Amino acid sequence: MTERITKSMAKNIYYGGGTFALLIFIALTFDTVHQIPERSNEVDMTKSVVAGKKLWEDNNCVGCHTIVGEGAYYAPELMNVFQRRGASDEGAFKGYMQGWMAAQPLDTPNRRKMPQFHLTNEQVDNLSDFLIWTSKVNANEWPPTIEG
Amino acid sequence: MKYSSQAVAKPYFIFALILLAGEILFGLLMAIQYIYGDFLFPLIPFNVLRMVHTNLLIVLLLNGFMGATYYLVPEEAESELWSSKLAIITFWIFAAAGVATILGYLFVPYAELTELTFNNLLPTMGREFLEQPLPTKVGIVVVVLSYILNTAMTVLKGRKTVITTVLLSGLFGLAVFFLFAFYVPENLIMDKFFWWFTVHLWVEATWELIMGAILAFVLIKTTGVDREHIDKWLYLIIAMTMVSGILGTGHHFFYMGAPEYWLWIGSISSAVEPLPFFLMILFAYTMTRDRKIKHDNEIALTWAKGTAIMSFLGAGVWGFFHTLAPVNMFTHGTQLTAAHGHLSFYGAYIMIIFTMVSYAMPILRGRPHGNCQKAQKVELNSFWMMNIGMMGLTLALSAAGIVQILDQRVGTELIGFMESQESIEGIYMIRAGFGALVFAGLLTYFYSFFVKEEAK
């Protein structure tokens, strides 16, 4: 098969094909950037949600957890933790989060440990708001089950 | 060694190998913490171990690419390096920044590190693989730009070959796509979308150009096959890489908040992604079959064939397993991703660096015909230990991923994440065992450097 392909043909496929793919990619990028605000309900992205995202990053939460399926696989997925631990009730979830964050690290021998991050009550609420907002993103019906 | 400036490659190679030992060591520590949660806690929590593990990988690969480039570019351009002084200075800057960053991860709590390193001015930290503090990220940009400058100037004043053109376009892409590491939108979904521009387009597009160029160089040197022939293969491989890899980014956009059309575009393009790796196998074996010379450094050619096969398995086959959208619905965010990540990084990028080091290091040490038979034999043993170890741990992680899916995502009697992880403990032990084999393989590889040359 390769005998019939010359070097200049291969070169043309590289430049032509590469450029073609790149152009489609750029066009779709513009469209995706246009659609993400609606799919992620950006209107509901309050100051608290933004503060929660910053806390999520500053404490490197993604170093153990996944969120929307991306991150480390040491600890549970958190896109749907609002449904799983808060039964989709904001008050219940925020209460749960305050208790959970204060109780870390749990005392169970050899269970994987979550560090104590010394967050204020307000910061924990920020994190809760961030996770609640994330749970409502349209991710094409992922995760498949509540256990994530 | 034909050009004295090629010698600057040596410290890059040595440092890359030392970092690799560190990377594997931290991988082993994580493998143990996976099973015994109290191990090293709270001294080094999991996220810190993981950051060190993955960041060492990134720094070592960049080091390896730089070493490989500085070795091959003078020979390709038929001219001394534009500035070997600059190459040495950037080596020390990069090494110092790398070590300081790792020490920062280990000894300063991450939240404190963000404050100490001006992350509040321009937040870029706390995202997977791009955890580096702002000064480190800026340092990477400076080092990469000086690396490109040095390479480009050398190529401009000398002979232009397809290998250096491809290499330079890979480097240029590497620099451009790293800029997205500085763009962190407040919207998590937008953030994730552009995060992949760095992560995917490095690993599955621009780095493949670099890998292809290095592979082509070593094949020319060890088989003596006509350059025209090699060039054609190289173009064909990278053509398939670009056609499949760029739109293949879409396989990351299935279930993270991006529009539905990525389900189709990502699935179709990335189904083609194994093809360039398959071509690499044909490339390596055809060139070996048609070889004009029999180089005494046989182990370098063994690595070249090995990297083609292992990257096809890791990136091609293991990538394909979960790249179709309906399958990815269940595999997204499980250990299957980790399995694919491990074998593809090892097969494509660690092994291409081994290939280059195996070819170039003996020459840099005054052994133009390669190491002695005894040393090559030791190295061949290490080749098999590392390959079997990586294959074993990939299979273990794949099994872990499948159990996870069955436990948490399929059927009606589902169990939670932590419970599922407990049921996987035995598999994680097997994973740790194969990880130890990889480490033993690397130590054996190191030992091959110290095997005494037989007197001739």
Cα B350 versus chain centre, distance: 5
pLDDT single digits (tens) B58-80: 999 999 999 999 999 999 999 99
pLDDT single digits (tens) B183-198: 999 999 999 999 999 9
What whole-number distance in Å separates Cα of residue B315 and Cα of residue B328? 16
> pLDDT grade, residue A4 (50/70/90)?
confident
- Nearest by Cα to B307 from B290, B326, B284: B284
pLDDT of B455 reads: 67
| One-character DSSP codes across A37-84 | HHHTTGGG--HHHHHHHHHHHHTTGGGT-EETTEE-SSS-B-TTHHHH
What whole-number distance in Å separates Cα of residue B111 and Cα of residue A56? 10
Residues of chain B with pLDDT under 50: none
The interface predicted TM-score of the complex, written ipTM, equals 0.97
pLDDT of A135 reads: 98
pLDDT of B315 reads: 97
Residue A109 pLDDT more than 60? yes
- Nearest by Cα to B328 from A49, A143, A92: A143
pLDDT single digits (tens) A58-105: 999 999 999 999 999 999 999 999 999 999 999 999 999 999 999 999
Total-model pTM: 0.96
- Nearest by Cα to B45 from A70, A108, A75: A75
What whole-number distance in Å separates Cα of residue B376 and Cα of residue B389? 20
Residue A2 pLDDT more than 70? no
Angle between helices A47-58 and A121-135 (to 10 degrees): 100
Residue A1 pLDDT more than 60? no
The closest CB to that of A57, out of B34, B126, B260, belongs to: B126
What whole-number distance in Å separates Cα of residue A134 and Cα of residue B435? 35
**Maximum pairwise Cα distance, chain B:** 71
From chain B, pick out residues whose CB is under 8 angstroms from the CB of A65: none
Residue A3 pLDDT more than 80? no
pLDDT of B456 reads: 58
Question: Is the CB of residue A35 less than 8 Å away from at least one CB of chain B?
Answer: yes
pLDDT of B260 reads: 98
Which A residues in the span 103-142 are in contact with B, Cβ-Cβ below 8 Å?
105, 109-113, 115, 117, 130, 134, 137-142
From chain B, pick out residues whose CB is under 8 angstroms from the CB of A31: 259
pLDDT of B1 reads: 85
Kindly report the average pLDDT of chain B as a whole number: 97
The closest CB to that of A11, out of B184, B235, B286, belongs to: B235
